[in-house]
Amino acid sequence: MTDQEIIDLINTALANEFELNIDDMLPGAILKDDLGLDSLDRVDMVIVLERAFNFKIREEEAIREIYTLRDIHNFVINKKRELK
């Protein structure tokens, strides 16, 4: 899976789960302010990513440091590389 394919899958999975407009999903988008994803969505976001990429991340500390869509992209890309 290329980095771009990972990014596309993340965007599609989040857009489906959270009723987001795919056009608003710019890498620099701040999850809370730009995409309206609040603390209640955090748990769901982790579940969506786990399901989309078939890994477990809910115990990872780095998840708490995610603020933008780019942070998610980088987190998942790095995680996929780790698992290779």
Partner 1 sequence: MTLEGDRILNKRNKVNAVIYFVVVCVMNIVAYPAIIAWTLAGIIFFPFGFVLWKILTGWEGDRIMRHFVWLYGRGWLCIMLPFVRFRREGFANNRIDLPCIAVINHLSFFDTYCMALLPVSNMAFTIRSWPFKMPWYAPFMRLANYLDLETIGWEGTLEAGSKILSKSALLLFFPEGHRSRDGQIQRFYSGPFKLAIETGIPIVPLCIVGTDRLLPPDRWWFMPSRVYLRALAPVSPKEFAGETAHVDLRRHVKKLMIENLEEMRKLQK
Where does this chain bind partner 1 (CB under 8 A)? 16-20, 36, 38-41, 43-44, 51
Q: Least distance to partner 1 from the beta carbon of 19, Å?
A: 5
In single-letter form, the type of residue at position 18 comes to: F
Q: Is the CB of 41 or the CB of 71 nearer to partner 1?
A: 41
Closest alpha carbon to 18 in 53, 42, 50, 54: 42
H-helix segments, 19-68: 39-53
Q: Least distance to partner 1 from the beta carbon of 62, Å?
A: 20
Task: Note whether 61 and 33 are within 8 A (CB).
Answer: no
Q: Least distance to partner 1 from the beta carbon of 77, Å?
A: 23
